[in-house]
Amino acid sequence: MPDRLSQKTLLAFSRARHPSYERSKVKAGILHIGVGGFHRAHQAIYTEDVLASGDLRWGVIGANLRSTNMRDRLAPQDFLYTTCTRHIDLNEYRVVGALQNVLTLSQQRQEIIGLIASPSIKIITLTITEKGYCLNVSGQLNEDHPDVRHDLDNPAMPVSALGIIAAGLKQRMDNRAGPITIISCDNLSENGNATARTIGGLLVRKDRGIAHWVQDHVQFPSTMVDRIVPKTTEADIALLATESGIEDRGLVVSEPFSQWIIEDRFAAERPEWESAGAQIVNNVSVHEQMKLQMLNATHSALAYLGLLAGHEFIHQAMQDPMLHRFADYLLETEVLPVIVRPKDFDILQYKQSILSRFANSQIQYRTAQVASDGSQKLIQRVYPSIQNHIELGTPCQGLMLIVSAWLRCSCNKEIAGEFADPGAAMIRGLSEHELPERLQSVIKIFGPAGSEKRFLQEVSTGYTELGQKGLTAVLQNILK
């Protein structure tokens, strides 16, 4: 029977790299809301490296809103957990000690509010998913959201992440606890501004005085985060136990690549994350847009074309010679010529890293998972490049094909059942002949593009040719 990971059993875990500092001397300086796999494989690793450098002011207290699952898994392990970095030819293990505790809003609300109000906490980081920001279609606080309505009526007993932060900031102001930086690490465009708007929307309704205090004492830098972190399976946990003799119920698996770009806008002291590989920049948006148009667009292409080709995983799509060629062609011929590049950024190396990452067979990323919510994702990932080509009068068959493949997958009852996309509900079940006739109403999700003749015509043609000629023939025509 393997030993459970803990401070006592750590020395027996010879397969892993251990924390190189005394955990008992670490002080909590960061509160993280939304402790899941991604945080533990991403921001916590950058912070772990800062602690390893000798700056012990930046321990992390975690907080989750409802589930006690993460606390239940990690508390018996003294909040230690293992990261398994999956290279193509080996597994690299590291035990992380940065996380000191995990609290739950439903059970420890006042303790979390007290932490936000504590002068020792200088940073709040968030991974609460896009839904956690309770945005309306205009990107403002959705006051009709049930959690927001509750928090507006019961500010001392919040149930949302936004509400708990608002309550903590009010108490921080009253305590004169000093400035603090709140950092969203979710995939929202200009996520810092979105966080400021939503929290500000709650605070203005409470007291205009606190809103003014926030302007002077709180900063909301935008960020861009990137790392593939698949869901940990029981098989992963069993493999670790077999290889090391250690059971870790908090194991998290990730790819080798990791990127964190943070806007240089801080209200108080901060960890020197750049020493661990993070980039502190003046403008995150250019990096964010590049990632959307290069990495995310290619990911979506492999998802929809991979589904049409019968591939379950992204790496299987990359093992398909035709789809691999298409991914390379898409980036080199249609995306790179119209991309805005960050200054002094090696765009060709970044392109190659994208292709290498998606080909990593040790990262099991389902095509259906990537295909989810394409009606919302494609307008950010694909359409900006298409719009640039339309304005230049240059061809972009590959980019148009991604939209056509999304339509084809969404109309195919068998394939569409594998992924969730509420925005595609209007086209599911349409016959082969019905969709082209109703395409214009469907494509309205792309905003002004929906009325552009070339866009409609090429997407419609691509949809029809995928049905009549098949995927291979369509790709051969593009790649000839």
What is the pLDDT, as a whole number, of residue 450? 56
Higher pLDDT, residue 225 or 380:
225
What was the pLDDT predicted at 388?
93
Domain 285-479: which CATH number of 1.10.1040.10, 1.20.950.20, 1.10.10.10, 3.30.1280.10: 1.10.1040.10
Does the pLDDT of residue 449 top 70, yes or no? no
Per-residue pLDDT tens digits for 46-72: 999 999 999 999 999 999 999 999 999
- Distance separating alpha carbons of residues 199 and 214, to the nearest angstrom: 10
Q: Which of 67-81, 240-254, 294-308, 437-451 has the least mean pLDDT?
A: 437-451
- Range in 72-81, 128-137, 156-165, 446-455 the model is least confident about: 446-455
| Residue 79 CB neighbour total at 10 angstroms | 26
Q: Residue 436: is its pLDDT beyond 80? A: no
- Report the DSSP pairing between strands 28-33 and 223-226: unpaired
Q: Determine the straight-line distance between the first and last CA of the chain, rounded to whole angstroms.
A: 58
Q: Compare 111 and 365 and report the one with higher pLDDT.
A: 111
What is the radius of gyration, based on Cα positions, of the chain?
Answer: 24
Residue 359: band (very low, low, confident or very high) from pLDDT cuts 50, 70, 90? very high
Q: Which two tokens stand for residue 42?
A: 């991403």
- Mean pLDDT, residues 118-128: 98
pLDDT, position 446 = 64
Structure tokens that stand for 98 in this block: 């940065």
Mean pLDDT lowest for which of 175-189, 347-361, 455-469? 455-469
Give residue 425's pLDDT. Answer: 73
User: What is the predicted pLDDT for the residue at 209?
Assistant: 80
For the domain spanning 3-281, the CATH number is 3.40.50.720
**Do 30 and 58 contact (CB within 8 A), yes or no?**
yes
In the chain, ranges of CATH 3.40.50.720 domains: 3-281
**pLDDT for residue 27 is more than 60:** yes
Cβ neighbours, 10 Å, residue 11? 8
As a whole-number percent, the residues of the chain with pLDDT over 90 amount to 78
Report the candidate in 367, 127, 85, 34 with the shortest Cα–Cα distance to residue 236: 85
Under 8 Å between Cβ of 139 and 145: no
2-16, 129-143, 275-289: range with lowest mean pLDDT = 129-143
Q: Pick the residue with more confidence: 224 or 480? A: 224
- pLDDT reported for residue 447: 58
Q: What b-and-e string marks burial along 397-415, b requiring 16 or more CB atoms within 10 Å of the CB?
A: bbbbbbbbbbbbbbbeeeb
Give the model's pLDDT for residue 67.
Answer: 92
Q: Is the pLDDT of residue 138 over 60?
A: yes
Q: pTM for this structure?
A: 0.88
Mean pLDDT lowest among 162-176, 220-234, 419-433: 419-433
Q: Is the dihedral of CA 246, 251, 257, 261 positive or negative?
A: negative
Q: How many CA atoms lie within 13 A of 223 on its CB side?
A: 25
What pLDDT shows up at residue 206?
A: 66
CB atoms within 10 A of CB 286: 18
Q: Mean pLDDT throughout 283-302?
A: 95
Stretch(es) of the chain classified as CATH 1.10.1040.10 = 285-479
Q: In this prediction, what percent of the chain has a pLDDT beyond 70? A: 96
Handedness of CA 21, 25, 30, 33 (dihedral sign): positive
Mean pLDDT of the chain: 93
